[in-house]
Amino acid sequence: MALLRFLAPTVAGAIFTLGLSPFDIWIAVPLSAALFVALLHTQTTTSDAVIGWSYGLGLFGSGASWVYVSIHVHGGAAIPLALIMTVLFCAGLALLFALQAYVYGRWFRHGGTWAICVSFPALWVLFEWLRSWLFTGFPWLYAGYAAIDTPLAGWTPVVGVYGASLWLIGFGAAVTALVRAPAKTRIRVAAYICALTILAGGGAFLRQIDWTQPFGGEIKVALYQPNISLDDKWNRRLFGQHLDQFHNAALPLYSQSDIILWPESALPAYRHQVAPFLKEIDRLALARDTTLITGIPVHAETGRHNSIIALGAGSGEHHKQKLVPFGEYVPLERWLRGIIGFFDLPMSSFTPGPRQTPRLTAGELVIAPFICYEIVYPDFVSRHSDVSNLLVTVSNDSWFGASIGPLQHLQMARFRALESGLPLLRGTNNGISAIINRRGEAIAQSEQFVETTLVGTVQPRSGRTPITQFGHWPILVGCLVVLLLPRRIR
């Protein structure tokens, strides 16, 4: 019986992952939330924190265990050690759900139907926001991402991912409230669920609104996906071969493209070490009035940076501000560096870039660039895409192999395009590269683990959506106000 009390919330948490890519069964998210809140209201001997921690373990264990690939395959950790580290990672993240469940049980559960329908989803959203910055943040596996291909997506430019999370979790919680509500309250809960459904359906009408306007004409783009393995990428004996590969791939594209995009850290050397190569690329691109954008490490006065630069008809550079723990820097480096290969990965000594707005240009276009992990931070992207005509993100998802991680990453990039109302180019080393329109639809995308060039057109845009104008603060403040209201409905 004790094992069942632990397994039930763990299974409920694991169901959540089915709502996101690559499964995309959106109803799994509200179902998971419904089971979670039901368990919190039916428990008698198990503490709320234990239920929350078990739920979080199921959620992160099913949805974020792809870190095992980085630790074992690329970090060189033995299978038992990699498994232990993966479990510790997921168990540590699950502590936030333990705290969330404790707070709900301690201060809100006894609010009856109101607590289930309103307080529970409001608290969920605030904890998602907490995850976006606590200990540098891990804004992954947000409930709202399940809405990307539903009518609710029409609300996204207005309420963003947190608003979508509020609806999905609120809908699931309301179903639990309907089942638990006394007869005299049940009709009101049913009406509330109907109102939520109608509200979501309204997204289909909002989908017709153009929050941003075309800027100039369509442009031709080419995204080169080199498919170089991580073992080969940092092999110095293959250095010249890699430069030739990028050079030869770009040659036929200069006359056909307005923008050519190479992935994160495309060139396995610091910028000053490949200065002659970059100079030649700059010359060839400029001669054809083409902008070539590439990720490249940069050793500057401010430190070693994971960066993205524009050459040819474009200009500008951006040093990554949101670094991945252990992948790009090592917390407690003095004690951990050298213990196992995972703590000594190539290019894992980066410094965060200056806190300035990232900008690149391509002719008259203003581009908001984001490197890998940065694209998953909702407010960071909203804040830095305010005057842009196009979003660009480069990544190297090779670290996660054939797991579900790269597919989740693509889904979040699509969501950023939908929130901002701007097209997005996503260039990766081995997939999934994609050309995404302002509605968050991938109009072209590559297969994984193949060398390819993705060619297409995009329409740059200007203007701002409500969420890029005001950010998520109205949603977050609204959730806080709801939690402070002294209301109780049975």
Q: Domains for the chain: give ranges and CATH numbers.
A: 2-209+472-484 (no CATH), 213-464 (3.60.110.10)
More confident residue, 5 or 81: 81
| Phi, psi angle pair for 320, to nearest 5° | -55, 130
Nearest to 298 by CA among 256, 322, 266: 266
pLDDT over 90 (residue 231):
no
User: What SS3 class is residue 25?
Assistant: coil
Instruction: Kindly state the tokens that stand for 36.
Output: 């979670």
- Tokens 């509330």, located at residue: 192
Q: Quote the CA–CA distance of 37 and 48 in Å, as a whole number.
A: 10
Q: Quote the CA–CA distance of 429 and 449 in Å, as a whole number.
A: 9
- Which of 80-84, 141-145, 168-172, 246-250 has the lowest average pLDDT? 80-84
* R_g over Cα of the chain: 23
CB 224 within 8 A of CB 261: yes
Q: Quote the CA–CA distance of 488 and 356 in Å, as a whole number.
A: 45
Which run of H or E residues covers position 378?
helix 378-384
Question: What's the average model confidence in pLDDT over 6-15?
Answer: 95
Q: In what order do the strands lie in the sheet with 259-261?
A: 317-319, 303-312, 291-300, 259-261, 219-225, 452-458
| Phi, psi angle pair for 376, to nearest 5° | -90, 0
**In the chain, pLDDT over 90 holds for what percent of residues?**
77
Task: State residue 338's pLDDT score.
Answer: 52
pLDDT over 90 (residue 131):
yes
Please give the positions annotated as active site: 264, 320, 372
CB 212 within 8 A of CB 463: yes
Averaged pLDDT of the chain = 92
User: What SS3 class is residue 205?
Assistant: helix
Q: Quote the CA–CA distance of 446 and 426 in Å, as a whole number.
A: 10
Task: State residue 490's pLDDT score.
Answer: 42
Instruction: Kindly state the tokens that stand for 111.
Output: 């609010």
- 388-429, pLDDT tens digit by residue? 999 999 999 888 888 999 999 999 999 999 999 999 999 999
Give the rounded distance of the alpha carbon of 464 from its chain centre: 20
Q: Quote the CA–CA distance of 318 and 307 in Å, as a whole number.
A: 5
Instruction: Kindly state the tokens that stand for 68.
Output: 């095992």
Q: Quote the CA–CA distance of 243 and 268 in Å, as a whole number.
A: 9
Nearest to 489 by CA among 110, 147, 73, 175: 110
Q: Quote the CA–CA distance of 281 and 255 in Å, as a whole number.
A: 13
| Phi, psi angle pair for 371, to nearest 5° | -105, 115
Nearest to 416 by CA among 215, 22, 142, 222: 142
- 297-353, pLDDT tens digit by residue? 999 888 889 999 999 999 999 999 998 776 665 554 454 545 555 555 555 578 888
